Amino acid sequence: MTSNETKPAPGDPGPGAADSAGEPEPIKAIPLRRPGRWLAAAIILVLTGLFLYGAATNPAYKWDTYVKYLFDTRILSGVAVTLELTVLSMALAVTLGTILAVMRLSPNPVLGAAAWVYLWIFRGTPVYVQLVFWGLFPSIYQVIVLGVPFGPHLFELNVQNLQAPFLFAVLGLGLNEAAYMAEIVRAGINSVGEGQREASTALGMSWTQTMRRTVLPQAMRVIIPPTGNEFIGMLKTTSLVTALPFTLDLFGRARDIYGVNFQPVPLLMVAATWYLVVTSVLMVGQFYLERYYSRGLSRQLTGKQLQDLADAQTIVKAK
């Protein structure tokens, strides 16, 4: 007779039953019902459809005018000028911003103070006000003279004869953006461990060589994402160059056209469409650039440099 210890529990098929029946039945997972999610999606689709229908049937949008000027030569030339402003201004901003970031981190107190004053001025005043100032620059400084005080002049430039609103637009945008790029670069530099700098010093590198060969290449993975955002932001900020005044950019061209035909809505939509197209392309490029720099340091440092740094860090820790 079987004892209580060997009797199977009620409902238990007992030992060997699973083997005789084969594999256990798979668990049937029943997904949770989320009616709120479907309700929210339905509401959004209905509102989107109503908005699109209203926009398509609203005569104020003047879609015929929108189609007429979407590929107008003046609009396309404005797109080209906007891209030129963006690229040149960001090139100036990245170069000057890197210099300012290095100056702020420099052990030289004079360089650090000068960089801090620059950031204080350009980050503390609106970019529109700065652009207005650059538009008035020829009135403030009629002639720029460089030379020895009470002596001969080495260089003289008549600013009033310099009809270059495009140059002043690049300077105004680039110098303002450099203040923000300096903080981005500084954050990237600070993200590199102190041990990397100590290891470079142990290898006999100077402070400048450490920044150029060790710190900045590793800081790129932190610098690139916000720089891409600033580049896209710069594209839209170019619309403020009308403060100079400068009207050859995309928004300036659209404003000149609707100033004549008195149809601002379709022309503003034309400008917005081209801004969206260009920013979409830039966002795709930013995605691939971020993925490139996120692969690790092997792209920025050679194997020998990495090995030397590792050896130097070991020496520093041993000390």
For residues 8 and 17, the answer to whether their CB atoms sit within 8 Å is: no
Residues 163-211: tens digit of each pLDDT: 688 989 999 999 999 999 999 988 888 887 777 767 777 777 777 777 7
Residue 201 to residues 118, 212, 305, Cα–Cα distance (Å): 30, 13, 13
Q: How far apart are the first and last CA of the chain?
A: 78
Q: How far apart are CA 26 and CA 82, in angstroms?
A: 61
Q: What is the mean pLDDT of residues 27-37?
A: 77
Residues 73-108: tens digit of each pLDDT: 999 999 999 999 999 999 999 999 999 998 998 888
Residue 22 has pLDDT above 70, yes or no: no
**Residue 153 — very low, low, confident or very high, per pLDDT cuts 50/70/90?**
low
Considering the entire predicted model, what is its pTM? 0.74
Residue 44 has pLDDT above 80, yes or no: yes
Number of CB atoms found within 10 A of residue 262's CB: 6
> Which domains are present in the chain?
60-294+308-318 (1.10.3720.10)
Amino acid at 238: T
Number of CB atoms found within 10 A of residue 117's CB: 10
Residues 236-250: tens digit of each pLDDT: 999 999 988 888 899
Which residue, 263, 223, 98, 244, is CA-closest to 167? 244
For every residue of 3-61, DSSP letters joined together read: -TTTSPPTT---TTHHHHH-SPPPP---PPP-HHHHHHHHHHHHHHHHHHHHHHH-GGG
